[in-house]
Amino acid sequence: MEKHILFVDDSPTIRSSVSFCLRNAGYRVTEAVDGKDGLEKVQSFKDKGDTLSLIITDINMPQMDGITFISEVKETEFKFVPILVLTTEAEESVIKKGRDAGASGWLLKPFQPEDLLWAVKKVVWPK
Ligand SMILES: [Mg+2]
């Protein structure tokens, strides 16, 4: 079954490069521009009965940051969907906040496509 990934990042350049990499590897990708938009997308998947295999999110974003977004997703029925963080943020205290909020993994930008795909494969369960 096709695996659906939600990718949340406020940078259009990062969105297109990450989406390209994931789509090239056979994943279906929905993009969101910040945490608020990401949460609305999650709600719309629920309303449509759509599946979600993985969320990848940035941390520093306007309207709603990645830590808040992760905490909010954990309040929805998609709470068991693994969440990978892809960020420039390497501060130990922020990484701890992400882990406490429920992130499954942490990747630093700039990313190498093979590292991203390796991390994605590790957390996306085969169906
Ligand atoms: Mg950002």
Instruction: Using the mean position of ligand 1's atoms as its centre, give its distance from the Cα of residue 85 in Å.
Output: 11
Distance from Cα 104 to the centre of ligand 1, integer Å: 19
- The pLDDT, as a whole number, for residue 2 is 83
What are the structural domains, with CATH classification, of the chain?
Answer: 4-123 (3.40.50.2300)
Q: Please list all protein residues whose beta carbon sits less than 5 angstroms from ligand 1, which is an ion.
A: 10, 58, 60-61
pLDDT digits (tens, 9 = 90+) for 21-34: 999 999 999 999 99
pLDDT at 12: 98
Q: How far apart are CA 28 and CA 38, in angstroms?
A: 16
Decide if 30 contacts 4 (C-beta within 8 A): yes
Residues 5 and 124: their CA atoms lie apart, in Å, by 9
Q: How far is CA 26 from CA 3, 4, 47, 83, in A?
A: 8, 10, 25, 19
Residue 22 alpha carbon to ligand 1 centre in Å: 19
Residues of the chain with pLDDT under 70: 1, 125-127
Predicted model pTM: 0.96
Q: In the prediction, which pLDDT does 8 show?
A: 98
CA of 91 from ligand 1 middle (Å) equals 15
